[in-house]
């Protein structure tokens, strides 16, 4: 692997904002290359798709390395550049909860939201499919309960679990109309996140001109 500055390839209004926020929280040096979505399809442009075989965000490059997948990138950057400080030690009481929410974000919640989006694009309503609607209600109730127990999804301190979760509750709602009006703990949590200097800096860089969707 050749030596070079870590580059975050950010597709506008996408999960790759997580990686920008992670770099800002860690205070590490990185280059940010931003790509606009295509006007006709709202999908990634060809030069973004060419970065990685999957052709989707996020993607980072680090010397000869090209890496996709939000969770994989988060772990890579946190260990390689952040000395692991945004993940609790295995001896920490929060370790298991951190792991759960870190993986639950995309494995369950984002998957459920994508099923709803697919139904909408197909001309149906997500609440017309009981399986999807039930999973969404359970997910929102589950998150609300968690944030009544701890200030962050991963426990007492911000962790990679929050880096993963926040996009699903904020910018992703530009594509799916997922109201949070009846989730006071979730809204209070997002307000706390919105006050973090690193989050504000990341969003200003990743989505200039867009007010973060925190409510």
3-state secondary structure of 8: strand
Please give the Cα distance from 88 to 206 (Å, whole number): 27
Mind listing the pLDDT tens digit of every residue in the chain (215 residues)? 445 689 999 999 999 999 999 999 999 999 999 999 999 988 999 999 999 999 999 999 999 999 999 999 999 999 999 999 999 999 999 999 999 999 999 999 999 988 887 887 788 877 778 888 899 999 999 999 999 999 999 999 999 999 999 999 999 998 877 889 999 999 999 999 999 999 999 999 999 999 999 99
What tokens appear for 211 in the block?
Answer: 């007010």
Q: Strands 31-35, 65-68: parallel, antiparallel or unpaired by DSSP?
A: unpaired
What tokens appear for 122 in the block?
Answer: 């197909």
Domains of the chain: residue spans and CATH = 7-86 (3.40.30.10), 95-204 (1.20.1050.10)
Sign, Cα dihedral of 198, 200, 201, 207: positive
- The structure's pTM equals 0.94
């Amino acid at each position: 692997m050749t030596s070079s500055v870590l580059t975050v390839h950010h597709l506008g209004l996408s999960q790759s904002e997580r990686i920008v926020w992670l770099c800002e929280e860690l205070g590490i040096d990185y280059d940010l290359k931003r790509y606009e979505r295509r006007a006709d399809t709202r999908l990634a442009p060809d030069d973004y798709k060419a970065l990685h075989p999957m052709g989707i965000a996020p993607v980072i490059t680090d010397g000869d390395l090209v890496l996709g997948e939000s969770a994989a990138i988060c772990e890579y950057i946190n260990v390689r550049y952040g000395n692991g400080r945004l993940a609790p030690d295995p001896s920490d009481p929060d370790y298991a909860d951190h792991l759960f929410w870190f993986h639950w974000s995309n494995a369950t919640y984002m998957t459920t939201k994508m099923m709803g989006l697919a139904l909408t694009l197909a001309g149906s309503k997500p609440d017309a499919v009981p399986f999807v609607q039930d999973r969404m209600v359970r997910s929102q109730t589950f998150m609300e309960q968690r944030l009544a127990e701890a200030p962050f999804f991963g426990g007492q301190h911000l962790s990679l679990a929050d880096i993963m979760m926040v996009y699903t509750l904020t910018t992703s709602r530009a594509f799916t109309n997922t109201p949070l009006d009846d989730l006071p703990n979730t809204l209070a949590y997002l307000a706390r996140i919105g006050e973090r200097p690193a989050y504000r800096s990341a969003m200003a860089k990743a989505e200039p001109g867009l007010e973060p969707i925190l409510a």
